[in-house]
């Protein structure tokens, strides 16, 4: 699921050897040439198969630097971005420089920056809470491997194949919604201020996050990928047509 992303009111998606950037308000479309196969996309950032990190700058790509490893997660924070790889390392990238922040020696599954702390999850169900300089503050433990982390409505939410959990300020579980048996989570996306979308192989679920986790809807539909821009959910269908959550075709 690296087909689509969104940034600054535009939806960005792959089309052959180019990226298409379409403004969601004006419908203006620009194509951006890419030097090779894309291995990772998040917001306006992408990584190619040679581990080069780029940002989309107007109608062109601007190379930031070459990474030492492929990344699976990127979080913007202030004037920098924090990137994590599956081997457990987190780096801070700013002003064209890459600074090592921390290492965990475990297989990471999620990263979030919440209340001035770096929050990491791993395949063993552990949540590590660290200062922004990487110093460990605490660990929390779950009985299930965590698939991803999201910050929604001011709170941390962890998602596993078994449940969606809302955490309190100390990162203990405050509320949880049990997912159907044999659920396999492929991707999670925050929508607007207080909603979460969980994409599974043949369906997707919409949750509202307030003082608890509530299921709003479960849609039995297989999609290839998805992204949110504001409160609108854009779905990549299996034929690669992109439609919004009202069913209107956005790009084909």
pLDDT-derived band at 58, boundaries 50, 70, 90: confident
Q: Do residues 200 and 180 make contact, with C-beta atoms less than 8 angstroms apart? A: no
Element (H, E) at 238: none
Q: How far is Cα 63 from Cα 31, in angstroms, rounded to an integer?
A: 17
Give pLDDT tens digits for 134-168: 999 999 998 789 999 999 999 999 999 999 999 99
Q: How far is Cα 152 from Cα 137, in angstroms, rounded to an integer?
A: 22
Average pLDDT, integer, range 98-125: 96
pLDDT-derived band at 40, boundaries 50, 70, 90: very high
- Residue-range domains of the chain with CATH: 70-141 (2.40.10.480)
Residue with tokens 């791993």: 122
Residue with tokens 């909603």: 195
Q: What is the C-alpha end-to-end distance of the chain, expressed in Å?
A: 18
């Amino acid at each position: 699921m690296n087909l689509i992303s969104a940034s600054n009111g535009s939806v960005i998606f792959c089309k052959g050897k180019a990226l298409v950037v379409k403004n969601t308000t004006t419908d203006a479309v620009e194509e951006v040439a890419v030097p090779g196969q894309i291995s990772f996309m998040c917001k306006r950032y992408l990584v190619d198969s040679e581990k080069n990190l780029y940002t989309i700058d107007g109608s062109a790509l601007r190379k930031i630097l070459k990474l030492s490893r492929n990344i699976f997660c990127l979080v913007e924070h202030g004037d920098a971005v924090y990137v994590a790889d599956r081997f457990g390392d987190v780096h801070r990238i700013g002003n064209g420089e890459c600074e090592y922040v921390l290492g965990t020696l475990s297989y990471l599954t999620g990263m979030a920056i919440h209340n001035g702390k770096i929050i990491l999850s791993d395949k063993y169900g552990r949540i590590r809470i660290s200062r922004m300089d990487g110093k460990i503050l605490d660990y929390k433990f779950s009985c299930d491997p965590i698939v991803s982390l999201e910050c929604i409505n001011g709170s941390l939410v962890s998602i596993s194949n078994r449940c969606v959990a809302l955490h309190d300020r100390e990162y203990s579980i405050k509320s949880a919604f049990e997912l159907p048996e044999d659920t396999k989570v492929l991707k999670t996306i925050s929508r607007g201020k207080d909603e979460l979308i969980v994409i599974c192989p043949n369906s997707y679920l919409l949750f509202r996050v307030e003082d608890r986790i509530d299921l709003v809807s479960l849609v039995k539909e297989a999609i290839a990928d998805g992204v949110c821009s504001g409160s609108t959910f854009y779905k990549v269908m299996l034929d690669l047509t992109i439609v919004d959550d009202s069913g209107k075709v956005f790009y084909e």
